[in-house]
Structure 1
Amino acid sequence: MGVSYQLVVDCRSPGSLAQFWAGALHYVLAPAPDGFASWDDFYRSIGVPEDELGGGVDSIVDPAGGGPRIWFQVVPEEKSIKNRMHIDVSAGGGRGLPLDVRRERVEAEAERLVALGATRLATLANEGLDHYAVAMTDPEGNEFDIN
Structure 2
Amino acid sequence: MAARIQVTFDAASPPTLGRFWAQVLGYVEDAPPPPFSTWDEALDAMGVPVEQRDSAYAVVDPDGAGPRLWFQKVPEEKSGKNRVHLDVTVRPDLPREERPDAVRARASELEGLGARRLYEKEELGSFWVTMQDPEGNEFCVQ
Alignment partner of 1:110 is 2:100: no
Which ranges in structure 1 are unaligned for 5 or more consecutive residues? none
Partners of 2:101 and 2:25 lie apart in 1 by 18
Asked if 2 retains the 8 angstrom alpha-carbon contact of 1:30 and 1:57, the reply is no
Paired residues of 1:39 and 1:57 also in contact (CA < 8 A)? no
Q: From the two aligned structures, give the one with the greater strand fraction.
A: 2
- Computed over aligned residues only, the root mean square deviation of the Cα atoms, in angstroms, reads 2.0
Q: Which runs of 5+ in 2 are unaligned?
A: none
Shift of 1:32: 1.8
Instruction: Report what 2:134 is aligned to.
Output: 139
Match in the other structure for 2:29 = 29
Aligned residues: 142
Runs of 4+ in 1 over 3 A off after TM superposition: 43-51
In 2, the alpha carbon distance for the partners of 1:33 and 1:132 equals: 41
Q: Alpha-carbon deviations, 1:52-100, whole Å to 9, x = none?
A: 22x2871111011101111111111111111111000011525xx4322
Are the counterparts in 2 of residues 28 and 62 from structure 1 also a CA contact under 8 Å? yes
1:11 matches 2:14: no
Q: Distance in 2 between matches of 1:142 and 1:35?
A: 35
Q: Which amino acid in the other structure matches residue 137 of structure 2? A: N
- Deviation by residue 1:17-75 (Cα, 9 ceiling, x = unmatched): 1110001011111222222243344244345455422x287111101110111111111
Query: For residues 7 and 114 of structure 1, what CA distance do their matches in structure 2 show?
Result: 22
Identity between Structure 1 and Structure 2 (%): 44
Q: TM-score, normalised by structure 1?
A: 0.85
SS of equivalent residue, structure 1 residue 23: helix
Letter matched to residue 128 of structure 2: A
**TM-score normalized by the length of structure 2:** 0.88
User: Does the CA-based 8 Å contact 2:100-2:128 persist in structure 1?
Assistant: yes
1:108 offset after TM fit, Å? Answer: 1.4
